[in-house]
Chains A and B, each alone.
Chain A
């Protein structure tokens, strides 16, 4: 802009200067010419008068004139010339000015020299004797005049040029300066040309709009991040060329990220060909799914294509943690299989014995024994079914009545009922502690205490001990069942609370039990908000600590 203003000012200055110069020159030149012509005419009439009065001799006395005087006879012969030897001059009858004077009394003409730098002006007058007097004067043409003045013209032009350059430069700067200083961030606070007001107002408006939109976008972005960062499912957004646009904390932990991967290629994050193949599938067909197990957990990945205006613009990957679901399903399947197996075994024994009796293959004296066996197996089945019912009750979260129970007295009663079993195995039972009142469910507490003590007796060695302690700790009631039994190895310790899990599968028939006892204990304690801890050493004994809130 400065440049343009500068150029315009400069050009205008130059045009004004040059046209002024030309005009002045033209006017002056014309004035000067007219002046000279009238002088020449006066001179001619003066000299003509002189000749009329004095005669031709008069011409020899005037030597003060700058102009050239020529006297030509009526026939055109040159009679006198003030500058050139007239005897050698040719006949002048054909000259234009002489001819005009001979006819009209006066005549005039002008002729340019061969170089065009000089112009000779002639004036002629017929005298009374018929001869013609001519004055002539040569003068410079306007070109020659300009040429002769070239030095001063150049100097003036140079000065004018420099002046106009400087002036136009500073002027253009001054014009542009307010524009340069306009504060575009705060358009309305500027004190500048009025002509800019509409633009600045518009700018201010747009500023406001942009600001609002930005705020809105920020808010949406925050919302989006709040949603995806609190999601349990992993979420990865891939843009074009599988560039990572967004990744939430759950996905970060799945991919085991240690630094920022935003705007990077997905392959840097995960190079597993299966996952990449799934993404390719999603890009091509719109959807891809995959189950991956990683770090001992099961994940389901599902990818779907994102399209904008019929163009694939990215892929969204969702990562679900399926571990619980998969385990729950496995447990359920195992439970069903176990239940049917456990129910089938005693039934088959019963059926077998009954068939033998029916076919008369059993001696009469043996029949009572067979009947006893059938009864035993049937009662085993009843126990098993009772256990299953109890478990399913606990599973269904049936409401039980909570009441105040003295744990010490309760355990004492339970131990009394087990004394017979313990004596059979030659195991001594002992109880320590004092009255401790808890809030619990009678039926469930019975399951807990009975199962734990029963196990402590069953899995004990001959001449072993079971020590039960009831005490208070941090406002909780604590029940400790300690035995000197066979112990449970590390690999089994985590699994003994699972349904139908038996440490020693081969001897379970001898010892009895359904494999559901500890599972019931666990669920019963869960119902009463209690916890159970297990500590065991092989061939030394097991200590089970139960904590129940009061």
Chain B
């Protein structure tokens, strides 16, 4: 009985890592598309996102099956409930990546040279997602804590970008619609950072049983 349960738990673990890797792929792709203004790559993001959605449903049903059939307690229960929460955040990351990809065609292939910060912010967000998945894979509290601290960096980038965009609009060096699109993209990256923090918090919960939100 326990043997089968262990197998299912390791399957859950595996699928969760796969889903995390897909999220990383999605935002890496969208960042690449954004930097070189390539709409074709942007289209690929939405197919990755539908893969992520499918993965979410699979993991969800696996979690519910485990909860119902095995009635886990203690650490196992924490792991499964944390998984249920984490997939929601991962799915949101996939959605944000798609949202960014949907904006790319409106930029008319313009490479965002005006805003060097956006590419750095995107790198920081990718790093955060990678760190949060790493924290889960290695069950490492320090990496999880690092992810949470890293969010400040992304938040700061958002503030900086907002400021410089306001400046650009005032100086009329950029048109309003374009600036707003950039702001949206920055906001989406900022949200991705927040979701990475959520994932890290759930990793901490599944290890220690304490959730920071409490």
Contacts and interface: CB of A to CB of B under 8 A. Distances in A.
| A, B co-complexed | yes
Contacts of B20: 271
A272 B134 CA distance: 12
B154 interface: no
Contacts of A271: 17-18, 20-21, 24, 133, 137
Interface string A255-280: 00000000001011001110010000
Contacts of A265: 10, 13-14
A276 B18 contact: yes
A272 B22 CA distance: 8
B143 to A, nearest CB: 11
Contacts of B18: 267, 271, 273, 276
B38 interface: no
B17 A273 contact: no
Contacts of A273: 18, 21-22, 25
B17 A268 contact: yes
Interface residues of B, number: 13
Interface of B (DSSP majority class) = helix
A268 B22 contact: no
A310 B137 CA distance: 33
Contacts of B137: 268, 271
A389 B97 CA distance: 55
Interface in B2-33: 10, 13-14, 17-18, 20-22, 24-25
Nearest to A270: B21
Interface string A173-203: 0000000000000000000000000000000
A277 to B, nearest CB: 11
A267 B14 contact: yes
Contacts of A268: 17, 137-138
Contacts of B138: 268
Contacts of B17: 267-268, 271
Contacts of B133: 271
A533 B129 CA distance: 42
Interface in B128-143: 133, 137-138
B136 to A, nearest CB: 10
A268 B14 CA distance: 8
A260 to B, nearest CB: 12
Nearest to A274: B25
Nearest to A268: B137
B14 A272 contact: no
B85 to A, nearest CB: 20
Indicate the member of B24, B133, B137 with the most A CB atoms within 10 Å.
B137
A271 B24 CA distance: 10
A405 to B, nearest CB: 54
Nearest to A242: B14
B39 to A, nearest CB: 22
Of the listed residues A271, A272, A273, A276, the one surrounded by the most CB atoms of chain B closer than 10 A to its CB is A271
A502 to B, nearest CB: 27
Nearest to A259: B138
B46 to A, nearest CB: 16
A271 B138 CA distance: 12
A272 B21 CA distance: 6
Most chain A CB atoms below 10 A, which of B10, B21, B22: B21
A267 B138 CA distance: 11
Contacts of B25: 273
Nearest to B22: A273
A268 B21 CA distance: 11
A267 B133 CA distance: 12
A399 B13 CA distance: 62
A265 B6 CA distance: 13
Contacts of A276: 18, 21
Contacts of B24: 271
Interface string A137-178: 000000000000000000000000000000000000000000
Question: Taking each of A265, A272, A276, which has the highest tally of chain B beta carbons within 10 Å of its own beta carbon?
Answer: A265
A419 B138 CA distance: 68
A265 B12 CA distance: 12
B18 to A, nearest CB: 7
Nearest to B137: A268
Tell me which of A265, A267, A273 has the highest count of chain B C-beta atoms within 10 A of its own C-beta.
A267
Interface string B117-134: 000000000000000010
Nearest to B130: A271
Contacts of B13: 265
A218 B13 CA distance: 34
Contacts of A272: 21
A273 B48 CA distance: 11
A269 to B, nearest CB: 9
A252 to B, nearest CB: 15
The 10 nearest A-B residue pairs measured at CB? A271-B21, A267-B17, A271-B17, A267-B14, A273-B21, A273-B25, A268-B137, A265-B14, A273-B22, A272-B21
Given A265-B14, A271-B24, A271-B137, 7 more contacts: A265-B10, A267-B18, A268-B17, A271-B17, A271-B21, A272-B21, A273-B22
10 contacts: A265-B13, A267-B14, A267-B18, A268-B138, A271-B17, A271-B20, A271-B133, A273-B18, A273-B21, A276-B18
